[in-house]
Every structure is written in C-alpha cells, then in structure tokens.
Structure 1
Amino acid sequence: MSFFDTKARTKPTKYSQPTQVPWVEKYRPKNLSEISAQEHTINVLKRTLNSSNLPHMLFYGPPGTGKTSTILALAKELYGPEQMKSRVLELNASDERGISIVREKVKDFAKMAVSNKLGNEYPCPPFKIIILDEADSMTQDAQSALRRTMETYSKITRFCLICNYVTRIIEPLASRCSKFRFKPLDSENSLSRLSYIANEEHVGVGKDTLETLVRVSEGDLRKSITYLQSATKLQKAMKGDMEVDITSAEIIDIAGVIPESVLRRLLEVCSKGKGIVEAQTMVEEVVMESYSCGQLISQLHDKIIQSSDYTEFKKCRMIQELAETDKRLTDGADEHLQALDLISQFRTILAN
C-alpha cells in the first residue's frame, strides 16, 4: 500500500486547546453586566451601546479594578466574536512605548477602512477601536503624535487609553477623551467574586481566607485571583488532583507578606536603641527570606500610621524616609542597602 493512500491522511488533525488557563482570563467578564463595583461607568457605557456613538475614552484607576475587562466586554457587545478580530486592536503601550508604535501599528490600523456589518445580532457601529493599555508608560513624544492621529481618523476609529496614573497623560490628549475613574473594589464585591471562582473550581476556602486574600491584594482583584490559583495549584501538587482547602497562612506565604512578628522586632530594634549589628542582623533575616523591600515599605507604612507608640512628628519623618527609599528603589538602587539605610534612619529618628 502506498504511503499516500493511508486513511490517516484523510482525517484532519484537530488542534487541542490547552486545558490550563489562567483564572484571570478564564473568569474575565464576558459582558458589561458582569463587571463588579463600577456602576456609574457601566451605566454610561451601556447607554452608548444603544446609540452606537462612542467617544474617545480614558480609563484610569488602580491595577486590577476592571479597566481592560470593561473595554473588552464593551467591544464584544458592540462587534461580536467574529468582527472583534478586524475591528479591535489591543496594544500594551508599556512594551512599545516610543513614537514608532504610533507611527506604525496605531496609524496603520487607524486609517484602515471599516469592513461591512455582518448580520443584525450586534450593533457593529461604523468605526474601529484601538485599546492602548498602560498608556501612562508612553513617552511624551509618542503621546503628542497620538493626539494628531486621534484627530485625523476620528470618523472611523475610536481610542481607549488605559492607565494607572492619569497625571502621566498629557493634557492635550486627556482633554480629547471622556474620562472614567475606576475605584478600588470594595470588600463585598471582591469576596463575592472570589467565592464564586472558588466554588466553580471546587476549592474550599473559609471566610477568613477570603478576607485575607482581599486584604493582601489591596483592592486588586486580579492579584487576588492569581494568589488563589497559585495556592490551589500548590496544594494539588502536594496532595494530588483532588478538592483542596486553602488556609490564610498559605495565602500569606504565596503573597510574600512579611509576618507581623518580623515587623515588630524590626521596629523594636530601632526604638530601643540597640546596636547597628542587631539592626543589620534583622535586615539580613528579611533579605534571606526573600521578602521584597517594596513589601517591607508598604507594610511598615501601614504599621507606623496605625501605631500609637510614636508622636505625629516622628511618624511624619519615618514616612518621609519610606518615600525616599521607595524612590531610590524605583531608580534601581540595591534592595539590601536601601533596607539597611532605612532601618538606620529609623534608629536616628526614634533615638531623639
């Protein structure tokens, strides 16, 4: 029998979809009604679905509050899954943040003619949408070039800029957009969504564990879901493929939260006038446990603010040192040295 006559060739191979999908993507809202805790924004956007008259938009707010999910859900309701491919361009501006991205990808897509509407199931208005995620990472030159592109192709293209810090968007660009502020998710909405995901994935989580998830993620639902999936995968790897129960301790460990006892001892070393050697030993203990200096700053900030052991003046000086350390870390300074310097400064402040 000839090789070319084999029956195996008559049956096309079927591409197998990956079974493991990040829960952040798996449970991403499919439509605007599924978006949590952004009632005003969702109500305004729902009205645009009826009129099909969408302005340029600027979504801003903390990470994990539903900015990207909202515009993707809106696009799905406008165009449907088939037309989405030709009508929507999604770019992460932090990857390609220079002026070339505007001159090439953005401009080329913006000036493309709009394809004809298919069927009557979706509104499918006569314009495309360009989504620029993390637009606050774009250079000022790139933002200035984008302003001109928005003006030139406004009849057939709408832009949605997404950012964490609206102050980093130049005013001429921001003024051309309708601004939508995304506030951090409140505990009730976060707990409800996390509980739903846990039930769908057959994961046992108590109320205390869910509250710990919300607390350590600081209103970032994306981070909460990622921590929950990581803890679940870890437990299943240890106990086999079965239903698992997640505890608060496991969430704290995965999130890299520094234990309260470590923070307390660090501040005691500073306030009781102990030697620099003891302070250095404490810092090295934190470094050896692979806790990040950014996490240390965040937790020390909260602990100092809530403490009744220090005067308001000392609190102000300590917070100022935290801010300066954070700035140096952002500029690329060594974490170990910055942690040592921070504790040394605290010792000086609390000794007076």
Structure 2
Amino acid sequence: MAPVIQSSQQWVEKYRPKQVKDVAHQDEVVRVLTNTLETANCPHMLFYGPPGTGKTTTALAIAHQLFGPELYKSRVLELNASDDRGINVVRTKIKNFAAVAVGSGRQGGYPCPPFKIIILDEADSMTEDAQNALRRTMETYSKVTRFFFICNYISRIIEHLASRCAKFRFKPLSEEIMTGRILHICQEEGLDLDSEALSSLSSISQGDLRRAITYLQGAARLFGSSISSKDLISVSGVIPQEVVQSLFAACKGGDFDLANKEVNNVIQEGYPVSQMLSQLFEVIVGADDISDEQKAKICKKLAETDKCLVDGADEYLQLLDVASITMRVLCNMPLELSYEN
C-alpha cells in the first residue's frame, strides 16, 4: 500500500466537482441545470437541503462553466454567513455590484451571458430586513444580475424572495453514493478501508459527504493509510455505541446509582451531552421492547433538554434529569413525585 502523502490542501476542496454533471446523486437538479448551461440563460435560483449535499458546489460549478476563469472574478460575487449581510450591505455592496451592466459574447469557449451572478451562501441566516431589501434589487436589476440563494432551511427564506426563484431541493446522499465517492478518494490517496469502516463512516456522517471526507482526512493524518471503524469514530466526536447502550441499560434496570455513575462517566470523558441525546434518541426510537407511549414521553424530555442545553444549562444536571425521566418511564414509575402525607 502506497504511503499517504501529506498535503496542506483540504480533500473537500481537492475533490470538489468542477462541473455540474459531476455532482453526485442530485440527478433532477443536474438535468435541469445542464439545459440552463446549454442555453446560457438562467433565472434566479434557490438551492436548499441538508449540509454537504452539493448546493454550494453546484452554484460555483455553474458560475465557472458560464464565465470561465478569466471573467469569473469580475462577474461573480460570493457572500456567505461569515460576511456582514445586514441591510446596509444589501443597500451598498450588493446593489452596487448588481447595477453594473456587462457585455455579452463567447470568450475562450465559455458562453459568458450578459449578466452577473451574486451567490448568497447560507442565505437563511440573513435578517428579514435584509431579505426584504433584496426584493427591489432583484426586480430592478434582473436584466443584468442573477441571484443564487443557498440555504439549509427554505422556511427561513421570506416568501417574496422564494417566489422569485427557481427552487432546487438537494437530497441527502445515500450510503451507496457516499461509499462510491469515498472509495474513489481512498484509491487516489492510497488508503485502506474495510467494509466495517466504510459503513461506520456513512453512518456517522448522516448523508453529509463533506463531513465524511473531513473525517476521512482527519483519520488518515492521525492513523496512516490503514483506517479502522474505531479510528473514524474517534476523530468524528461520535460517542462509542457501548457508552450509549450502558446508560440506556442502567435506565432500563431502574438503578439510579448505576445511572448516575454512567452519567458521570459521560461527563468525565468529555463527551458532548447534545451528541449523547442525539444517539440516545436513535436507540430509543429503534427499540422494539418499548411502547410508543413510552417513546413519546422520553423523546419529549430529550427535546426539552436539548433546548435547555442551547440556553446554557449545566450538562451534568440535564443528562441526569434525562436519565431519571427515562428510568421512570421505562419502569412505569410516576413522572411527578407526590409530597402529600
């Protein structure tokens, strides 16, 4: 097996598709956008879906295929969540860029249509005022500027913007598609992954190819060319399944002291409690020996605890509370203590 060559370049960028047709698994989107490239005429676009499914890659690929490397910088404006995108930026930077007219005609074999493109990545983090300010800009300069909105949650885009765009939904990647892409990268980088490691990588990345590639590169740097399932779990931050099962078993057994011991173990090992809640949720939902009513009660508590953690609550106390409620539900104890004599 060839040694892993250390490189400063991120594999996410190294293996990012350069053309729309190479984007994995988004067949309907690719088919429509390929026609767009052939006619060199595209509407405003809204790409939405889970992280790591190819939204930004597709937007960048369209822009590069329309304008080529020479005109790309002058014709395309990229803004993401790290930029200030309040109403003032919309009124100045975006409006000024959108207002400038451009010429047409093919250059260097690229279509180079007579419009510019503004890519707004993570558009769902824009304020409502900023989104409202964009409405007029989109209408006024629609002949010379196209907007590409990219977001995870389409519900956070105001209806006035969404209705002006052609919408494209990006689906989570299937295990088969992810495995094929990961195997290609392993072959290129000289890595050895067995079937268990591939399955684990697909499971912990949850359809997010970018996350899977990042985990793979992290494991390669730490453990070399031969990577096991355990190696991938250790770099991903996912809690080992045996730890989750131990806490769940303690709750089923009805032993509070044992459950408290398992909670302490989770905290002392430095595992994030939010991650524990996520994995505990999967265990509970998938359990066959728990009634739907019991599952509903436990999941309600998991949701409340997750909100408490977001608000800054103590992790130990919150996880202990979850363990206590889970134990009461599974052992058919009353959820509320009675203090009456």
> What TM-score do you get using the length of structure 2 for normalisation?
0.91
Q: How does 1:318-329 map to 2 (within 5 A)?
A: 318-329=298-309
CA deviation profile, 1:14-33 (whole Å, cap 9, x unmatched): xxxx9511100111001012
Tell me, yes or no, if the aligned pair for 1:23 and 1:229 is still in contact at 8 Å.
yes
Of 92, 97, 107 in structure 2, the residue corresponding to residue 104 of structure 1 is 92
Of 227, 234, 243 in structure 2, the residue corresponding to residue 246 of structure 1 is 227
Matching residue of 1:270: 251
Matching residue of 1:240: none
CA deviation profile, 1:128-180 (whole Å, cap 9, x unmatched): 11111111111111111112211111111111111111111111111111100
Of 319, 328, 333 in structure 1, the residue corresponding to residue 313 of structure 2 is 333
Of 193, 206, 216 in structure 2, the residue corresponding to residue 205 of structure 1 is 193
Matching residue of 2:241: 260
Tell me, yes or no, if the aligned pair for 2:104 and 2:113 is still in contact at 8 Å.
no
Q: How does 1:106-145 map to 2 (within 5 A)?
A: 106-114=94-102, 117=105, 119-145=107-133
**CA drift at 1:82:** 1.3
- Measured at CA, do residues 113 and 41 of structure 1 come closer, stay the same or move farther in structure 2, by a change above 3 Å? same
Quick one: distance in 2 between partners of 1:109 and 1:85?
12
Tell me, yes or no, if the aligned pair for 1:94 and 1:134 is still in contact at 8 Å.
no
Quick one: distance in 2 between partners of 1:56 and 1:204?
43
Tell me, yes or no, if the aligned pair for 1:94 and 1:135 is still in contact at 8 Å.
no
SS state at 1:58 partner: strand
**CA drift at 1:228:** 0.3
Of 128, 144, 149 in structure 2, the residue corresponding to residue 161 of structure 1 is 149
**CA drift at 1:298:** 1.5
Task: Say yes or no: does 1:216 pair with 2:204.
Answer: yes
Matching residue of 1:229: 217
**CA drift at 1:214:** 0.7
Quick one: distance in 2 between partners of 1:318 and 1:96?
40
Matching residue of 1:25: 13
SS state at 2:266 partner: helix
Task: Say yes or no: does 1:289 pair with 2:269.
Answer: yes
**CA drift at 1:112:** 2.3
**CA drift at 1:120:** 4.6
Deviates more, 1:75-84 or 1:284-293: 284-293
Quick one: distance in 1 between partners of 2:40 and 2:295?
52
CA deviation profile, 1:239-259 (whole Å, cap 9, x unmatched): xxxxx1111110011112222
> What TM-score do you get using the length of structure 1 for normalisation?
0.88
Deviates more, 1:339-348 or 1:151-160: 339-348
Matching residue of 1:175: 163
Of 14, 35, 40 in structure 1, the residue corresponding to residue 28 of structure 2 is 40
Tell me, yes or no, if the aligned pair for 1:59 and 1:160 is still in contact at 8 Å.
yes
Of 279, 302, 305 in structure 2, the residue corresponding to residue 299 of structure 1 is 279
Task: Say yes or no: does 1:345 pair with 2:333.
Answer: no
Could you tell me which amino acid in structure 2 is paired with residue 35 of structure 1?
V
Quick one: distance in 1 between partners of 2:39 and 2:69?
20
Deviates more, 1:77-86 or 1:108-117: 108-117
Could you tell me which amino acid in structure 1 is paired with residue 250 of structure 2?
V
SS state at 2:148 partner: strand
Quick one: distance in 2 between partners of 1:84 and 1:336?
51
**CA drift at 1:336:** 3.1
**CA drift at 1:196:** 0.6
Quick one: distance in 2 between partners of 1:330 and 1:150?
36
Q: How does 1:312-323 map to 2 (within 5 A)?
A: 312-323=292-303
Of 40, 49, 55 in structure 1, the residue corresponding to residue 43 of structure 2 is 55
Of 46, 54, 60 in structure 2, the residue corresponding to residue 72 of structure 1 is 60
Matching residue of 2:335: none
CA deviation profile, 1:289-319 (whole Å, cap 9, x unmatched): 2221221121111111110121110001111
Could you tell me which amino acid in structure 2 is paired with residue 313 of structure 1?
E
**CA drift at 1:101:** 2.5
**CA drift at 1:279:** 2.6
SS state at 1:42 partner: helix
Quick one: distance in 2 between partners of 1:97 and 1:317?
41
Q: How many residues align?
A: 327
Quick one: distance in 1 between partners of 2:89 and 2:316?
37
Residue segments in structure 1 that go unaligned for 5+ positions in a row: 1-17, 237-243
